[in-house]
Amino acid sequence: MTTKPEAAQDALNKLLQVVTLLNEDMRQDFERRGLTPARTHALWVLAELGPSPQRALAQALGVTARNVTGIVDGLVETGFVTREPHPGDRRATLVTFTDKGAHTVHHLQESQRTLAVQLFGQMPAERFSAFVNGMDDVLQVIQRELAKG
């Protein structure tokens, strides 16, 4: 045991605070673009996958297929994606970016890059790498814990 419990608690509190503020910051960015968090997440995943049936989106997002129907409904209404027929499977639709959607995702990606640079760009190299190593440690612990139960 090298870290005192109170210090560990302080660190966790700070981490949670960072989380809260970061979420808030990103949420505001989404909102300016007419996006909700869930719809943004869907766009983001869609950018990775390319045009996809809703089932694939559901899996990638970790939510039910029914929920994806609703999210895509919203994205269609607001003009970010369209539902195209799946060539070769008439049951499925291919969720596909509109120009606006593709454009928006591109800006989101840039925005995230900018944020990363804002957060870490000025940080001394040594501190930065220690920070990243610390986060790797934390990630490992969490993943081990979640695996257990």
Binding positions for a copy of itself, rule: CB under 8 A: 1-3, 5, 7-12, 14-19, 21-25, 28, 112-113, 115-128, 130-139, 141-143, 145-146, 149
CB of 101 to DNA, least distance (A): 15
Chain contacts with DNA (rule: CB under 7 A): 36-39, 41, 53-55, 58, 61-67, 69-72, 74, 83, 86, 88-93
Tokens of 107: 């800006």
CB of 68 to DNA, least distance (A): 7
Residue 76 contacts by C-beta under 8 Å, 6 or more apart in sequence?
Answer: 82, 83
For residue 90, the partner it binds in DNA, a copy of itself, none, with Cβ less than 5 to 8 A by kind, is DNA
CA angle 82–86–88, rounded 5-degree value: 170
Tokens of 140: 């490992």
CB of 111 to DNA, least distance (A): 17
> Of the two residues 69 and 112, which places its CB atom closer to DNA in the complex?
69
Q: Are 118 and 138 in contact (CB under 8 A)?
A: no
Q: How far apart are the first and last CA of the chain?
A: 23
Tokens of 10: 């302080």
CA 30 to chain centre: 11
For residue 19, the partner it binds in DNA, a copy of itself, none, with Cβ less than 5 to 8 A by kind, is a copy of itself
CB of 37 to DNA, least distance (A): 5
For residue 122, the partner it binds in a copy of itself, DNA, none, with Cβ less than 5 to 8 A by kind, is a copy of itself
The letter for the amino acid at 60 is A
